[in-house]
Structure 1
Amino acid sequence: MKIKDKIGWKTAGALVVANMIGTGVFTSLGFQVADSQNTWSIIILWLAGGVMALIGAFVYAELGTHFKKSGGDYIFLSRTIHPAAGYLYAWVSLTVGFSAPIAIASMAMVQYWEPLIGVDYSTYLGIAAILAMSAFHSFSVSQSGLVQNILTAIKLLFVFSLILLGLFYAGVLPEAGFDFSSSWTSEVVRPGFAVSMVFVFYAYTGWNSAAYIVEEIDRPVKSLPKALISATLLVMMVYILLQLVFLKHASIEQLSGKVQVATLAFGNLFGTSGIFWVSLFIGIQLVATISGYTWVGPRITNALAKEFRFWQPLAKTNANGVPVRAIWFNTAVSLLLMFSGSFETVLLYAGFVLQLMGTMTIGASLLVKSNDGFRSPFKPWLQILYIIFSLWVMAFMLYDRPKESLLGLGIIGVGFILYLFDRKNELK
Structure 2
Amino acid sequence: MSGKYGFWTLTFLVIANMIGAGVFTTSGYSLADLGSPEQVLWAWLAGGVIAVTGAISYAMLIRVMPQSGGEYLFLSRAAHPLLGYIAGWVSLIAGFSGAIAFAATALEGYLLPEQLRPEWMPAGIVTIMAIVLAGFFHGLHPRIGAATQNIAVSVKLVLLGTILVFAAYQWFSGDLVAHSPARETSPDATPWSHWTAFAGSLVWISLSYSGFNAAVYVADEVVDAKRVVPRALVAGTLATTILYLCLNAVFVFAPPMQSIVGKPDVAAIAAASLGGNGFAHFVRWTIALCLLTSVLSMMMAAPRVYAKMADDGMLPAWMRFRGEAPFAATVVQIVVAVTLVLISDLQGLLSYLGLTLSLSAACSVCCLFLPSIRNSPHAAPKLWLIAPAFYVVATIVSAGIMTSNDPKQLIATGLTFLVGGTMYALTTRRTTDQGPPSSN
The structure whose Rg is larger is 2
- In structure 2, do the counterparts of structure 1 residues 209 and 67 end up closer, same or farther at CA, with 3 Å as the change threshold? same
| Distance (Å, rounded) in 2 between the aligned partners of 1:231 and 1:180 | 34
Sequence identity percentage:
27
Aligned to 1:67: 65
Equivalence for 1:318: 322
In the alignment, the residues of structure 2 paired with residue 212 and residue 178 of structure 1 have an alpha-carbon distance, to the nearest angstrom, of 44
Map 1:137-216 → 2, pairs under 5 A? 137-170=138-171, 176=179, 186=191, 189-216=194-221
Matched, 1:349 2:352: yes
> Residues 216 and 110 from structure 1, CA distance in 2 versus in 1: closer, same or farther, beyond 3 angstroms?
same
Q: What corresponds to 2:364 in structure 1?
A: 361
Is 1:247–2:247 an aligned residue pair? no
1:177 touches 1:250 (CA, 8 Å); kept in 2? no
Match of residue 98 from structure 1: 96
Residue in 1 that maps onto 2:263: 258
Aligned length: 424
Match of 1:328 in 2: 331
**370-379 vs 23-32, which deviates more?**
370-379
The answer as to whether partners of 2:170 and 2:176 remain within 8 angstroms in 1 is no
1:124 aligns with 125
1:234 is the counterpart of 2:233 = no
Question: Counterpart of 1:268?
Answer: 273
Contact 1:112–1:260, Cα closer than 8 Å, also in 2: no
Q: 1:133 and 1:52 mapped to 2: Cα distance?
A: 30
Please state how far the C-alpha of 1:10 moved relative to its aligned partner: 1.3
Structure 1 pair 251–410 and aligned structure 2 pair: CA distance change class (3 A): farther
* CA 1:185–1:102: 2 relative to 1, 3 Å: farther
Indicate conservation of the 8 Å contact 1:116/1:276, yes or no. no
Query: Equivalents in 2 of 1:406, 1:151: separation in Å?
Result: 39
Question: In the aligned structure 2, how far is the partner of 1:270 from the partner of 1:306?
Answer: 53
- AA aligned to 1:426 is P
Structure 2 stretches lacking a partner, 5+ long: none
Look up the match of 1:110. Answer: 108
Could you tell me which residue of structure 2 aligns to residue 399 of structure 1? 404
Measure, in 1, the Cα distance between the counterparts of 2:62 and 2:312.
Answer: 19
Aligned to 1:58: 56
TM-fit CA distance, 1:298? 0.9
1:426 is the counterpart of 2:436: yes
Q: CA RMSD in A?
A: 2.6
Separation in 2 of the partners of 1:36 and 1:337?
33
Distance in 2 of aligned mates of 1:348 and 1:48: 19
| Contact 1:5 1:142 (8 Å CA) reproduced | no
Range moving further from structure 2, 181-190 or 406-415: 181-190
Q: Which residue of structure 1 aligns with residue 306 of structure 2?
A: 301
Q: Distance in 2 between matches of 1:173 and 1:126?
A: 37
TM-score, scaled relative to structure 1? 0.91
Question: Would you say the 8 A contact 2:98–2:346 is kept in 1?
Answer: no
Alpha-carbon contact 2:66-2:219 (below 8 Å) kept: yes
Aligned pair in 2 of structure 1 residues 179, 126: CA closer, same or farther (>3 Å)?
farther
Equivalent residues of 1:26, 1:261 under 8 A apart:
yes
Match of 2:416 in 1: 411
